[in-house]
């Protein structure tokens, strides 16, 4: 069988910016083992598989290591694929996922994701994570991910992870978000996943389900502009809506092709 595949940069309009996701349209689900093998072969942070069901689109996400329950950038990439390459007529696009219904619209030339808010609660950082960080944080919160708060953007940019130590902990589908006030943005962040093939995720939409409630409360504003300052980098426009978070960004198709299995 031959399947189309699109490699799409999410949260950037640059050819080598943002977070790259592969998007694979299907008519029926492949086995979990085969979809994981395809994700390993693609070797990007996430591969999204979707089935157009008419009034909604069923969507699943696989890293090179396992299936995950929520992925913002690959959802944005799938919306871009549907609209730009399949002339999908309905907006917002209704995705059905393991995390419930997700919606994507195009507003002001950007793809806007409607995601569930996941505010963190005050917590303590596991000792193994603390030992893996080259700079110690001021505040720690826990939702799906650990949210680790610093004072300055420079600390976020210069932070290093001792990977052999970091990989001693298993956070399941979660990871560690590091964040601080931005110099030109409301806030900046980076995202790391222990025991993952790709340690640092270039741009993480799902992390903003926790970042946005935190910064909205701290800065006393509901609309926020953020940067994920990884090597590839990404830009996000966000809005806190209580139980939901709106996360918007640009996208660009890097390549389109097909594979056979």
Q: Output the pLDDT for position 84.
A: 96
Q: Known catalytic residue: 243? A: no
The answer to whether domain 2-116+248-260 and domain 121-242 are alike in fold is: yes
Question: Distance of CA 57 to CAs 33, 93, 121, Å?
Answer: 21, 8, 33
Q: Output the pLDDT for position 218.
A: 98
Beta strands in 117-196 (DSSP E): 121-122, 139-142, 146-149, 176-181, 187-192
Q: Output the pLDDT for position 104.
A: 96
Q: Output the pLDDT for position 175.
A: 94
Asked if 72 and 202 count as a contact pair (C-beta separation under 8 A), the reply is no
Asked if 200 and 230 count as a contact pair (C-beta separation under 8 A), the reply is yes
CA–CA dist 183, 180 (Å, integer): 9
Q: Which residues of the chain have pLDDT under 50?
A: none
Among the listed residues 46, 183, 239, 243, the single catalytic one is 46
Domain ranges of the chain: 2-116+248-260, 121-242
Can you name the residues that pair with 139 across neighbouring β-strands?
149
Distance of CA 80 to the CA centre of its chain: 15
Q: How many residues does the chain have?
A: 261
Q: Which residue has the tokens 């950038």?
A: 73
Q: Output the pLDDT for position 254.
A: 98
Each residue of 123-161: pLDDT tens digit?
Answer: 999 999 999 999 999 999 999 999 999 999 999 999 999
CA–CA dist 13, 80 (Å, integer): 12
Top-tier CATH class for 121-242: alpha beta
Each residue of 209-232: pLDDT tens digit?
Answer: 999 999 999 999 999 999 999 999
- Determine if the peptide bond prior to 185 is cis (ω within 30°): no
Q: What is the pTM of this model?
A: 0.90
Strands 200-201 and 67-68: unpaired
Pick from 54, 20, 52: nearest CA to 39:
20
What are the tokens at 82?
């549907």
The CATH architecture that domain 2-116+248-260 belongs to is: Roll (3.10)
Q: Output the pLDDT for position 146.
A: 97
């Amino acid at each position: 069988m031959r399947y189309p595949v699109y490699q799409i940069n999410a949260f950037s309009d640059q050819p080598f910016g943002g977070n790259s996701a592969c998007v694979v349209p299907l008519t029926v689900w492949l086995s979990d083992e085969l979809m994981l093998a395809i994700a390993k072969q693609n070797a990007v942070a996430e591969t999204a598989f979707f089935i157009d069901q008419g009034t909604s689109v069923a969507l699943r996400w696989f890293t090179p290591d396992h299936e995950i329950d929520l992925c913002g950038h690959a959802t944005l990439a799938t919306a871009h694929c549907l609209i730009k390459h399949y002339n999908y007529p309905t907006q917002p696009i209704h995705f059905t996922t393991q995390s419930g219904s997700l919606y994507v619209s195009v507003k002001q030339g950007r793809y806007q994701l409607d995601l569930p808010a996941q505010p963190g609660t005050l917590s303590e950082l596991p000792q193994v994570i603390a030992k893996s960080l080259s700079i110690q944080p001021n505040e720690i919160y826990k939702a799906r991910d650990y949210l680790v708060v610093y004072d300055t953007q420079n600390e976020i940019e210069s932070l290093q992870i001792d990977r052999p130590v970091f990989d001693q902990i298993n956070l399941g589908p979660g990871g560690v978000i590091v964040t601080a006030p931005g110099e030109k943005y409301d806030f900046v962040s980076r995202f790391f996943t222990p025991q993952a093939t790709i340690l640092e995720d270039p741009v993480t939409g799902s992390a903003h389900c926790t970042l946005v409630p935190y910064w909205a409360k701290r800065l006393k504003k509901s609309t926020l502009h953020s940067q994920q300052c990884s090597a590839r980098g990404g830009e996000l426009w966000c809005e806190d809506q209580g139980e939901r978070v709106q996360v918007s960004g640009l996208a660009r198709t890097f390549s389109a092709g097909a594979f056979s299995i």
